[in-house]
Amino acid sequence: MSVNVIFGSDGGATEAVASRIARRLQGRAIDIKAATPDDFENCSLLVLGSPTYGNGDLQSDWEAHLDKLTGANLVGRRVALFGTGDQVTYPDSFVDAMGILYDHVVNRGATVVGFTETKGYDYTASLAERDGRFVGLALDQDSQASRSEKRISAWIESLG
């Protein structure tokens, strides 16, 4: 299985998570700033990750390079998503960016794998929650960093 983990990161937290995920899946971590459109298509599992900024926005490099994603043909492709956020300071928009990525990849025909349970988190609203589950791996490196390792492991197992 070839895995590309494409991420955006302002402060480094999401980059560090992307590297951990890539290492575990023996894939490549690629900053969205340097990613090519091919990086979205030439892999058997595509993993995308973004922190949430503003009040529920994608990270700025994702916004600046969104055409790489919206131009990709993802029909029938397996895509897994992760998001970093802070549920204590931003409980009304927790990991919203993951929900934004979800809508984009579903619109491009992707099959999203790796939904997770919302149990164990404390927030009021999230665009990344659909039908009571997160559309991917939600990590909070600000207030629940100690839980991340277990969450990453369980999520990777669920990807099969």
State the residues that interact with ligand FMN by CB under 6 A: 9-15, 51-56, 84-86, 90, 93-96, 141-142
Which CB, 24 or 144, lies closer to ligand FMN?
144
CB of 132 closer than 8 Å to CB of 109: no
> Which one, 78 or 136, has the nearer CB to ligand FMN?
136
For ligand FMN, the closer CB: 40 or 94:
94
Confirm if 137 and 152 have CB atoms less than 8 A apart.
yes
- Taking the complex as a whole, the smallest distance from the CB of residue 126 to ligand FMN amounts, in Å, to 8
Instruction: Give the nearest residue (CB) to ligand FMN.
Output: 85
CB of 32 to ligand FMN, least distance (A): 12
- In the chain, where do the E strands start and end? 3-7, 28-31, 45-53, 57-58, 78-84, 111-113, 116-117, 129-130, 133-134, 137-139
Cα–Cα distance list, 149 to 7, 28, 58, 72, 153 (Å)? 18, 19, 24, 31, 6
Q: How far is the CB of 38 from ligand FMN (least distance, A)?
A: 24
If you count them, how many residues does the chain have? 160
Closest CB 51 distance from ligand FMN, rounded Å: 3
Nearer to ligand FMN, 24 or 60 (CB): 60
